[in-house]
């Protein structure tokens, strides 16, 4: 089912009425005056700022402020003045600690700033060097006229560390590119950086980014909310400097069939027993039709196997056998056993039971429980204590107990997940509602997301004109718009 969501806005050029609940943009002449900054970039590691002024004898000058960033490695301050004067230089850090010569209120030198060195008040020019600065923020500099009145020049040179321009590396490790997935999938990625990874984000198609700030970087993806077909997974790794890199794969979602239980092929332990055992859990959140039962054996032999539903996760004895096969010859490895189709309603308590004359693979780790409950392992039937693998399993499981073993058995099913009936969300992010523009050229920006099948494409129109298909792009430009009201619609 296709769902569309429409968002409208009004752009107004020149002074025009703003219609409620619309986006209004007004075009008018700009009176902003650009000012030349009082600093220059010497190279990409040094910034020089020059401050000038005048000061009267016995007085302090204006305190000139400048910013010290976390990249600053060294600060060099120089005060120059006429040789007929005697001025003293002072520097204050962001915590108001001072290093320098005299001031009008403090007739002595000061050396409070960590890692600071002052040339002394007998020098001309006077200098202060801080190597390295211990704090960041807004610092200030000024001078005191000990003798004479006149002009001065203070130059502040800040040496920054070389910027980090190297992006991280990121790789999606699960699922694999081009694979087919179904049900709930764990998306995994690895990332590294020359300084450090700050976070890794993940999205499916044009959906919302989800962040993971610590390794291992993992996300759970419920594919049943997406349409069958090709989907794109993107992982993006960031470092603290804002550099980022992407890795992208495509997978095919196929939820018309799937597996429920334990499908692992890496278990190394096997056991042989003469009692019936059961593994239980909750079925998927939609109706499934079980068509096959699978068991991974460590040797050849004979198996009786069945699917049960009902009972509770803490006691399977009231569960009912729904479909089964018995007297089935099996060999070492995975064995596929056809059974009569049975529809299991969504979110049912379900069990797979079996008896066998061969060994079956298992794990003692609850992390290997798959779709079975991890809090309890297998139910081992104690009454009756023996059962023949050449006959059908009992209609209801017998009494017994749980133990922390998880066996490699699962059910294969077919299904058709429900239609996606939830529309996407969409928001025009720029220009803002009621904005005034000083240009007849306008670029519209928007964002959208969809928790179901993802956004297939966007469309945009202006003044009820023709829709323009934008694909997955989230911006569109209009040029030469006339003064007056313009209505913009964006649809996902």
> What CATH code is carried by the domain that includes residue 128?
2.60.120.380
Into how many domains does the chain fold?
4
Does residue 85 fall inside a structural domain? Answer: yes
Does residue 392 fall inside a structural domain? Answer: yes
Q: Cα 301 vs. chain centroid, distance in angstroms?
A: 49
- Helix, strand or coil for residue 44? coil
Tokens 């008896």 locate to 355
Does residue 34 fall inside a structural domain? Answer: no
76 & 184 share domain = no
Does residue 37 fall inside a structural domain? Answer: no
154 & 275 share domain = no
397 & 370 share domain = yes
397 & 333 share domain = yes
The domain in which residue 80 lies consists of 45-160
The angle formed by the CA atoms of residues 106, 112 and 118, to the nearest 5 degrees, is: 80
Distance between CA atoms of 357 and 273, rounded to whole angstroms?
7
58 & 146 share domain = yes
Does residue 399 fall inside a structural domain? Answer: yes
Sheet containing 244-253: give its strands across: 180-181, 244-253, 229-239, 197-204, 210-212
pTM above 0.85, yes or no: no
Sign of CA dihedral 316, 319, 320, 324: negative
Domain stops at, among 414, 448, 468:
414
- Helix, strand or coil for residue 224? helix
Does residue 258 fall inside a structural domain? Answer: no
74 & 144 share domain = yes
449 & 406 share domain = no
Could you list the pLDDT tens digit for every one of the 492 residues in the chain? Answer: 334 445 554 444 333 222 222 344 443 333 322 223 344 544 457 889 999 999 999 999 999 999 998 889 999 999 999 988 999 999 999 999 999 999 999 999 999 999 999 998 888 999 999 999 999 999 999 999 999 999 999 999 999 887 788 999 999 999 999 998 988 899 999 999 998 999 999 999 999 999 999 999 999 999 988 988 999 999 999 998 899 999 999 999 988 888 999 999 999 999 887 789 999 999 998 899 999 999 999 999 999 999 999 999 999 999 999 999 999 999 999 999 999 999 999 999 999 999 988 999 999 999 999 999 999 999 999 888 767 889 999 999 999 999 999 999 999 998 865 556 778 888 898 887 777 777 888 898 989 888 666 788 899 998 888 999 988 899 999 888 888 778 888 888
Distance between CA atoms of 122 and 86, rounded to whole angstroms?
8
242 & 325 share domain = no
136 & 202 share domain = no
> What CATH code is carried by the domain that includes residue 16?
2.60.40
Neighbours of 397 (CB within 10 A): 26
Domain stops at, among 414, 429, 452:
414
Does residue 35 fall inside a structural domain? Answer: no
CA distances from 429 to 6, 436, 444 (A): 14, 15, 8
230 & 347 share domain = no
Q: Cα 274 vs. chain centroid, distance in angstroms?
A: 50
Does residue 40 fall inside a structural domain? Answer: no
- Helix, strand or coil for residue 366? helix
Domain stops at, among 230, 253, 276:
253
Neighbours of 115 (CB within 10 A): 13
Sign of CA dihedral 393, 398, 400, 404: positive
156 & 182 share domain = no
70 & 155 share domain = yes
């Amino acid at each position: 089912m296709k769902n569309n969501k429409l968002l409208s806005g009004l752009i107004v050029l020149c002074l025009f009425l703003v219609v409620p609940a619309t986006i209004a943009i007004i075009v008018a002449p700009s009176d902003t005056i650009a000012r030349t900054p009082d600093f220059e970039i010497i190279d990409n590691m040094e910034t020089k700022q020059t401050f000038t002024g005048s000061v009267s004898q016995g007085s302090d000058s204006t305190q000139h402020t400048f910013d010290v960033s976390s990249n600053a490695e060294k600060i060099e301050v120089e005060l120059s003045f006429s040789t007929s004067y005697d001025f003293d230089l002072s520097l204050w850090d962001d915590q108001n600690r001072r290093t320098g010569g005299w001031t009008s209120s403090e007739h002595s030198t000061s050396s409070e700033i960590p890692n600071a060195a002052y040339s002394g008040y007998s020098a001309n020019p006077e200098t202060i060097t801080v190597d390295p600065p211990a704090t960041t923020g807004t610092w200030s500099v000024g001078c005191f006229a000990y003798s004479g009145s006149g002009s001065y020049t203070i130059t502040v040179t800040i040496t920054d560390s070389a910027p980090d321009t190297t992006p991280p590396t990121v790789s999606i490790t699960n699922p694999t590119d081009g694979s087919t997935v179904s049900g709930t999938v764990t998306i995994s990625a690895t990332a590294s950086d020359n300084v450090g990874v700050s976070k890794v984000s993940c999205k499916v198609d044009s959906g919302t980014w989800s962040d993971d700030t610590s390794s291992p970087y993992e996300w759970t993806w419920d594919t049943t909310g997406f349409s069958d077909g090709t989907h794109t997974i993107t992982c993006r790794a960031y470092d603290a400097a804002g550099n980022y890199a992407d890795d992208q794969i495509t997978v095919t979602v196929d939820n018309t069939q799937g597996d429920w239980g334990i499908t692992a092929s890496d278990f190394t332990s096997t056991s042989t027993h003469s009692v019936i055992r059961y593994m239980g859990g909750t079925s998927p959140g939609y109706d499934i039709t079980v068509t096959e039962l699978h068991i991974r054996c460590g040797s050849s032999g004979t198996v009786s196997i069945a699917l049960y539903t009902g009972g509770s996760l803490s006691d399977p004895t009231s569960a009912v056998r729904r479909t089964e096969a018995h007297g089935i010859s099996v060999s070492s490895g995975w064995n596929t056993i056809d059974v009569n189709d049975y529809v299991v309603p969504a979110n049912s308590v379900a069990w797979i039971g079996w008896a066998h004359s061969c060994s079956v693979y298992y794990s003692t780790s609850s992390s290997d429980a798959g779709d079975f409950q991890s809090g309890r392992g297998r139910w081992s039937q104690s009454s009756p204590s023996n059962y023949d693998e050449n006959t059908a399993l009992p209609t209801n499981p017998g009494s017994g107990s749980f133990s922390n073993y998880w066996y490699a058995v699962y059910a294969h099913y077919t299904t058709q997940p429900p239609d996606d009936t939830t529309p996407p969300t969409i928001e025009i992010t720029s220009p803002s509602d009621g904005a005034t523009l000083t240009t007849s050229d306008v670029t519209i920006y928007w964002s959208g997301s969809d928790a179901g099948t993802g956004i297939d494409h966007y469309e945009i129109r202006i003044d009820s004109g023709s829709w323009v298909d934008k694909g997955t792009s989230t911006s569109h430009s209009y040029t030469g718009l006339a003064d007056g009201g313009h209505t913009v619609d964006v649809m996902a």
